Amino acid sequence: MHPDTRTYNAGQTPENRKICDRLAREIDRGLPEAENKIWHAHPVWFLEGNPVVGYSKLKDCVRLLFWSGQTFSEPRLKAEGSFKAAEARYVSAAQIVPEDLRRWLAQARDIQWDYKNIVRRKGRLERLK
């Protein structure tokens, strides 16, 4: 786990820290080639400079966000925002289903939209791969 992600997790309440630590471990295991850093104040993992997954503390939960998640066809991921992102929300580490998370991470590697160049393309997304 990246030291900055470890620091982010340590700043959470005990239950939220459990959620964040578990998510970070699973993401690191599922996407070992990904670069992890704090981006816009939250832990995010990137593949070739493109954000693919991250999490953040919201008022009443921890949100796991997949930037291309709407393309995964996964009923447990809910659409978020006006682009292709989808999310899962957790209030307890026990809610994390490892099989779902591993499947979502595999899809995050295989199904990507080019968020890295969204500004250059004036808000238009193109699918990668």
CATH code of residue 55: 3.90.1150.200
What local confidence, expressed as pLDDT, does residue 118 receive? Answer: 67
Please give the residue range of the domain that contains residue 95. Answer: 3-128
CA angle 105, 35, 106 (to 5 degrees): 15
pLDDT in tens, 22-71: 999 999 999 999 999 999 999 999 999 999 999 999 999 999 999 999 99
Residue 50 near residue 116, CB atoms below 8 Å: yes
112 Cβ neighbours under 8 A, 6+ residues apart: 47, 50, 52, 67, 68, 127, 128, 129
Structure tokens belonging to residue 31? 């996407």
Number of domains in the chain: 1
Residue 18 near residue 93, CB atoms below 8 Å: yes
